[in-house]
A and B are shown apart, each in its own frame.
Chain A
């Protein structure tokens, strides 16, 4: 069991408040990712759950028990660090069995659990080595092994894949997803990489400036971001933003562009200054006609996708994701259209106001 509830949690260092009004309920067995730019407080929040960081206000509750002031060693959690934090002076076997030994389990039981974990993680041949004799990916597996043998209430991951190269990162990501399916234990995962967040999470907490911006499923964040920050943070390449104002007949007038009839938009909520957001993959493009006309400055051709960076007069740079497209190149003129049903409208305080 591992339901984790944060009630009005706050953290400040001296006069500097780094987290405010954090209210979260993480269900047992859920995979939750904390994501946000550096300095948003996501690691601090994780460390407060572990007890490595004290809580300035509010409560941390695991399975109905208030553990706000319980020491880390008594919380029954396991953590995987970005730097792996293996004990360099003992073997892989002893690293994995470390927590069990501290807990005073009989040696035979420790050996059995270590063997089981090393089997799952493919570490059987490495058990007698020291951590420094392993590659980064193997060290990461040992750190995960050390976490899983203890059958903790929850696993906490602090940017565990950041030190790995790109290919290994993708592989470990898949392994962690499968591990979660297999163990069905609560996992909290901190990252600044929104791709990791989108691919792994059941639900994502987007943090910015010490506040929770949105807590929802990956698809909800993508389809219905609550504000401009979430809209811009989730999705790659980033959402395009264009200045806009109220137009005739309940439309939104993009500055230097078309007037859009965005479905689900209540004209009463419009403000004088607004922002229209549209994701690069939703923009339609053509050689002959469209709402906007621009010039392709750079074409990034990936084969599967082409990213077109288009300079549109009066609007600025617009990114277009053209799936499988081979026919648009740098320095060409391109015509773009903005399908209103894919547009997001943000009011002057950057809150999303269309309801689709």
Chain B
């Protein structure tokens, strides 16, 4: 090992530690009592068989975890269902103002979500959809549509034009071309889009705070409620956060192979 490689290794370990430390500390805290969390000197290694934090948390809040799951999966599916055909059309159909339309779709992304929070509240209130999961599903899918359309467009563009043309000459209509040829070839793009939408919807807090009160509350809202004016329940926050970060981690690992191939697709001529 040369000297410079050794220094790189040291730097890598330090930087990794900086990023991992808070998560590590949180994992340790999840297995501590509130007294152990505040103890000085710190309790470095807790008793990992102490699961009361998790038991207490889930016994009261499992319906909200279920809400989160339903909202996230539905929003991801809904977003893809609209974004993929839209992107396909924007890439392959010939019509005037095509580029303008694509830019316009992207421009809606430039608005900060908070700017839409109040109008969304009024719209869903008027529709009688406040504190319902469909409201969140629609809002999350909608917020991610521009991004999803643009990423999907870039993946459809990477499919050689001749392959799409060959499908059409072989007798495929547009929908068949989309379903039988374009979708399987844009698989990695779909995985990438799905992962991003999944993570956004799963972690979203702001709109969920606005649009839900009790029935449709999602898990991030629950976590935020553990920090009150009088007391912060660090042991519950820690336990809840572990549960909160697990699904995105698992989902990303499952999709990783596709995402990596997606990000390098088109980098070399094959």
Contacts and interface: CB of A to CB of B under 8 A. Distances in A.
B122 to A, nearest CB: 45
Interface in A205-241: none
Q: Place the interface of chain B in its size category.
A: 10 to 19
Given A73-B173, A102-B176, A85 B168 contact: no
Task: Give 6 closest A-B pairs by Cβ, nearest first.
Answer: A85-B162, A99-B170, A85-B166, A102-B171, A72-B168, A81-B162
15 contacts: A50-B165, A71-B168, A73-B168, A73-B172, A78-B169, A78-B170, A79-B165, A81-B162, A81-B166, A85-B160, A86-B163, A86-B166, A89-B184, A99-B170, A102-B171
Interface string A150-188: 100000000000000000000000000000000000000
Interface of B: 94, 160, 162-163, 165-173, 176, 180-181, 184-185, 270
A310 to B, nearest CB: 43
Contacts of A339: none
Given A83-B162, A102-B176, A89 B170 contact: no
A86 B160 CA distance: 10
Contact of A77 (B94, B160, B169, B172): B169
Q: Which of A86, A87, A132 has the most CB of B within 10 A?
A: A87
Contact of B166 (A54, A74, A79): A79
Nearest to A47: B165
B127 to A, nearest CB: 40
A79 B270 CA distance: 22
Contacts of B163: 85-88
A132 B185 CA distance: 14
A88 B166 contact: no
A113 B171 CA distance: 17
Interface of B is mostly: helix
A73 B171 contact: yes
A83 B170 contact: no
Contacts of A99: 170-171
A89 B185 contact: yes
Given A99-B171, A146-B170, A150-B170, A81 B165 contact: yes
A341 to B, nearest CB: 48
A52 interface: yes
Contact of B169 (A79, A82, A86, A87): A79
Contacts of A54: 94
Nearest to A102: B171
Given A73-B173, A102-B172, A52 B165 contact: yes
B167 to A, nearest CB: 7
A87 B167 contact: yes
Contacts of A85: 160, 162-163, 165-166
Contact of B170 (A88, A98, A132): A98
A103 interface: yes
B185 A72 contact: no
Given A73-B173, A85-B163, A52 B168 contact: yes
A146 B167 CA distance: 11
Interface in A55-108: 71-75, 77-79, 81-83, 85-89, 98-99, 102-103
A75 B170 CA distance: 10
Contacts of A72: 165, 168-169
A103 B173 CA distance: 11
A89 B172 CA distance: 16
B169 A103 contact: no
A347 B43 CA distance: 102
Contacts of A74: 171
A95 to B, nearest CB: 9
A98 B180 CA distance: 10
A102 B170 contact: yes
Q: Which of B94, B171, B181 has the most CB of A within 10 A?
A: B171
Contacts of B181: 87
